């Protein structure tokens, strides 16, 4: 018998999940379930479980839509944001949450990502960013750091990586944030804020893939990879008070950019209203 | 006032990754035969860090009926 949270929000007949030992995806999926649970329980944010839709694409991370017991849809590779856009436009009251991986979101689905961000449609995109294609055997992805090894980069990756959070900001997203596996409490809080935000929100969550990325790059096991996150990923409140020297080699987690752009479905509703008025004349 | 809590392990779901034991602030846990064991239950401070970071939902706190 699992915990009450897992029992309530996951399809337990599908568990235990099939991810590798120490994979960060399970922790991020737990963060998403906890964030939704806390929103449902909080009287200040009136909602129930049927207000949430989980949409995923293809890849290790995208299996999460099968485990999470909500209205959910597991779509085609790279197209989760496309499907989510349709769902949101059909019923703008829904909280549409996209669970995707670094490859699904920024390579195969890169165009969907930038245009959904540009439109500022109210989706919450949670990226399980493990720097590699895990499901297909460890090929380098758009977020594999330069020089790091992968099955398809045995001498080191020549490409320069995307910073997905900054990419979203550059494309016009009104909310862009970064989380990680180690700082679970902080990441849950960020995911909650992303869900509540009216506009396109993206949370780039640094996952860990000990099986492929970790092993190929001698990063150690899951514990070693999380120790790296503990030491090198710093919450924004602390990061701002650090000197340039202290910041060397470290990255910030938290909300990275926030803007009050008009939201797409609200703007679209105005068009519908205007056209209906014109039709009645 | 917080109620009494108890730590529970579901061995069947544990994959032995060791994350819970490594980040337990009180060294309550250990990995034996690729499964988590509660080595020192009396030291547990019920911080739930193991539950938060277990990728497999194999360790968690439950409320104990008084």
> Which residue in the block uniquely carries the two structure tokens 């349709």?
A86
**Structure tokens, B47:** 């911080």
pLDDT of residue B66 exceeding 90, the answer is no
CATH 3.30.70.20 matches B14-59: yes
Contact partners, residue A104, CB within 8 Å, separation at least 6 = A57, A58, A59, A61, A62, A77, A78, A80
Q: Tell me the sheet residues that pair with B63.
A: B5
Query: How close A238 gets to chain B, by Cα (Å)?
Result: 21
What residue numbers bound the domain in which A84 lies?
4-280
- CATH code at position A176: 3.40.50.970
Q: Say if the Cβ atoms of B12 and A221 lie within 8 Å.
A: no
pTM: 0.96
Contact partners, residue B11, CB within 8 Å, separation at least 6 = B35, B36, B58
Instruction: Show residues of chain B in contact with A186, CB under 8 Å.
Output: none
Q: Say if the Cβ atoms of A21 and B17 lie within 8 Å.
A: yes
Distance CA A65, CA A68 (A): 5
Q: What domain count does chain A have? A: 1
Q: Which of A1, A24, A182 sits opposite B55 (nearest CB)?
A: A24
Instruction: Show residues of chain B in contact with A6, CB under 8 Å.
Output: 57, 60
pLDDT of residue A280: 78
* B1 pLDDT tier (thresholds 50, 70, 90): very low
Q: Give pLDDT tens digits for B9-51.
A: 999 999 999 999 999 999 999 999 999 999 999 999 999 999 9
Q: Tell me the sheet residues that pair with B9.
A: B59
Q: Tell me the sheet residues that pair with B5.
A: B63
Which residue numbers in chain A have pLDDT < 50?
Answer: none
* ipTM, 2 dp: 0.94
Nearest to B54 by CA among A165, A15, A247: A15
pLDDT of residue B6: 93
Instruction: Tell me the backbone φ, ψ of residue A213, rounded to 5 degrees.
Output: -60, -45
pLDDT of residue B2 exceeding 70, the answer is no
Q: Tell me the sheet residues that pair with A178.
A: A204, A254
Q: Say if the Cβ atoms of A17 and B19 lie within 8 Å.
A: no
- Overall size of chain B counted in residues: 66
Query: How close A184 gets to chain B, by Cα (Å)?
Result: 6
What are the extents of the domains in chain B? 14-59
DSSP A12-63: GGGPSP-SPTT-THHHHHHHHHHHHHHHHH-TTS---GGGEEEEE-SSTGGG
């Amino acid at each position: 018998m699992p915990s009450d949270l897992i029992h309530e929000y996951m399809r337990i007949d599908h568990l235990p999940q099939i991810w590798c030992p120490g994979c960060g995806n399970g922790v991020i999926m737990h963060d998403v379930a906890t964030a939704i649970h806390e929103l449902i329980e909080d009287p200040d944010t009136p909602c129930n479980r049927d207000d949430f839709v989980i949409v995923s694409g293809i890849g290790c991370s995208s299996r999460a839509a099968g485990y999470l017991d909500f209205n959910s849809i597991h779509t085609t590779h790279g197209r989760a944001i496309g499907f989510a856009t349709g769902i949101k436009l059909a019923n703008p009251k829904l909280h549409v949450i996209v669970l995707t991986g670094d490859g699904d979101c920024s390579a195969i689905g890169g165009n969907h990502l930038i245009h959904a961000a540009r439109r500022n449609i109210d989706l919450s995109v949670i990226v399980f960013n493990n720097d590699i294609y895990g499901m297909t055997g460890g090929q380098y992805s758009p977020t594999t750091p330069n020089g790091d090894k992968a099955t398809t980069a045995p001498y080191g990756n020549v490409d320069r990586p995307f910073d997905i959070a900054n990419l979203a900001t550059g494309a016009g997203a009104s909310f862009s944030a970064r989380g990680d596996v180690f700082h679970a409490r902080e990441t849950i809080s960020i995911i909650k804020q992303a869900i509540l935000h009216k506009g396109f929100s993206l949370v780039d969550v640094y996952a860990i893939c000990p099986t492929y990325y970790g092993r190929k790059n001698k990063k150690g096991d899951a514990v070693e990879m999380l120790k790296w996150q503990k030491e090198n990923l710093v919450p924004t409140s602390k990061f701002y008070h650090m000197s340039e020297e202290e910041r060397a080699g470290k990255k910030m987690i938290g909300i990275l950019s926030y803007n009050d752009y008009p939201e797409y479905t609200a703007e679209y509703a105005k068009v519908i209203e205007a056209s209906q008025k014109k039709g009645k004349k | 006032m917080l109620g009494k809590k108890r730590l529970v392990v579901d061995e069947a779901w544990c994959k032995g990754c060791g994350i819970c034991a490594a980040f337990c602030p009180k060294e309550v846990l250990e990995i034996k035969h690729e499964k988590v064991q509660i080595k020192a239950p009396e030291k547990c401070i019920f911080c739930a860090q193991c539950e938060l970071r277990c990728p497999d939902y194999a360790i968690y706190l439950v409320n104990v009926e008084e």
